[in-house]
Amino acid sequence: MNTIDSASLLRDELFDSVLICGSETGPEGDLFDEAAARGVAPVVVPHLIRQICPVCDALALVELVRLMRRLRPSIVHTHTSKAGVLGRVAARLARVPVVVHTPHGHVFDGYFGRVGSALVVACERAVAPLADALVELTERSRYEHLARGIGKADRFYVVPSGVDSSRFNPDIYPVAAARQGLKLPAEAFVVGCFARLVPVKGVDVLLEAAGRLRQGGNVTLLLVGDGPLRAELTARAGSLGVDARFLGLREDVPELMAACDVVAVPSRNEGMGRAAVEAALMGLPVVASRVSGLSEVVEDGVTGLLVAPEDADGLARGLERLMLDGGKRRRLGEAARGRALSRYTVETGMKALRELYTGLLNVGGDDGRLS
């Protein structure tokens, strides 16, 4: 969504844009239709896939170089680790004037073992000089890259991933109607989790925490998203006796959040935590892991609660505090919305990105527009 926003909203008398992506989808879903509806139908590079595959990666690099030479962009802005490495190398081989990269967090932990993580860090160190600017979503993520010797401080910029505050607005979605549509008991304490069902998102920790919430009322989990762990997590919820509703991929996220009392983000690693920002804009407190960007997005005790990652007992205690104190939930939720409106709207993000682009380039292309 961040990339679709920037590709679609930065199209005017100065900028044009082309969105390039891989072909892989799987149970986690894709945003091809969303991008097309926003006027930036993706150009698909067939061999650009998430997994490491030397043959596919080499072919993707060739495809990207050819595409960039044909498009002749003024700027190439890459996103995430895998596409970021191949895209930056391709951009330099194609002699693109300006290259920008956004890691969207990092994969230094929570994804691979010690050896795999060390290889990722070495690779990121090697390709960091290929970018004229490195864009982080939070100051914390910037610090974590620099601490590992990735990039130079003067090339880092912080541009949060903005969220559409006109859509994520609690005034639009009545709570009673949202709960009625999901057939939720009126007395239920509803915890939402909006995440891919993959290990790094820590949904297993949330299930364990919910299984330990035995005091103060009925607890229902709304789990929105899909992924390879769905069957395993569904079975685990059953064995724990947790009322967990696995809703799969949904497009009505604001309406579903309106039915929640709190949102949990139990990730083992998170660049910023878009779901945490969306929940804040909906006026909901967030109980999140104290990791990377989440520790900056959620202000502990002010807009939500932070707990140690992998700590099911700590997560349970945090959820129970808010379950038993409706006044505290409201105070944290109101503070969360005010903070998100001042820092994390799409308008704020696009303004910062536009300033970065125009600062990196002084002249346009042949038709006077930058791409």
Phi and psi of 85, rounded to 5°?
-70, -55
Same structural domain, 113 and 244: no
- Residue 271 lies inside a defined structural domain of this protein: yes
pTM: 0.85
Same structural domain, 113 and 200: no
280 pLDDT more than 50: yes
User: Can you give the pLDDT at residue 213?
Assistant: 85
116 confidence band (pLDDT: 50, 70, 90): low
Q: What is the pLDDT of residues 124-179, one digit of tens each?
A: 899 999 999 999 988 888 988 898 899 999 999 999 888 999 999 999 999 999 99
Return the number of other C-beta atoms located less than 10 Å from residue 52's C-beta.
Answer: 11
- Residue 167 lies inside a defined structural domain of this protein: no
Q: What is the pLDDT of residues 254-275, one digit of tens each?
A: 999 999 999 999 999 888 899 9
Q: What is the pLDDT of residues 294-344, one digit of tens each?
A: 999 999 999 999 999 999 999 999 999 999 999 999 999 999 999 999 999
- Residue 27 lies inside a defined structural domain of this protein: yes
Same structural domain, 154 and 183: no
369 pLDDT more than 90: no
26 pLDDT more than 80: no
**Angle, nearest 10°, between helix axes 81-93 and 114-127?**
30
Split into its structural domains, the chain has a count of 2
Same structural domain, 36 and 132: yes
Same structural domain, 130 and 249: no
Same structural domain, 241 and 353: no
- Residue 169 lies inside a defined structural domain of this protein: no
- Residue 202 lies inside a defined structural domain of this protein: yes
Same structural domain, 130 and 226: no
User: Which tokens sit at 17?
Assistant: 């844009």
User: Which tokens sit at 25?
Assistant: 């989808």
User: Can you give the pLDDT at residue 363?
Assistant: 46
Question: Domain range spanning residue 283?
Answer: 175-343
Same structural domain, 297 and 185: yes
CATH at residue 214: 3.40.50.2000
Same structural domain, 126 and 247: no
As a whole number, mean pLDDT of residues 89-116 equals 82
d(CA 86, CA 347): 29
Same structural domain, 350 and 323: no
User: Can you give the pLDDT at residue 366?
Assistant: 47
- The DSSP code sequence of 176-202 is HHHHHHTT--TT-EEEEEE--SSGGG-
Q: What is the pLDDT of residues 167-212, one digit of tens each?
A: 999 999 999 999 999 999 878 999 999 999 999 999 999 999 999 9
Q: Decide: 108 and 117 in contact? Cβ < 8 Å.
A: yes
Residue closest to 225 by CA, chosen among 265, 187, 194, 252: 194
- Residue 268 lies inside a defined structural domain of this protein: yes
Same structural domain, 266 and 327: yes
- Residue 106 lies inside a defined structural domain of this protein: yes
Q: What is the pLDDT of residues 203-256, one digit of tens each?
A: 999 999 999 986 656 899 999 999 999 999 999 999 999 999 999 999 999 999
113 confidence band (pLDDT: 50, 70, 90): low
d(CA 285, CA 305): 8
- Residue 368 lies inside a defined structural domain of this protein: no
Same structural domain, 64 and 202: no
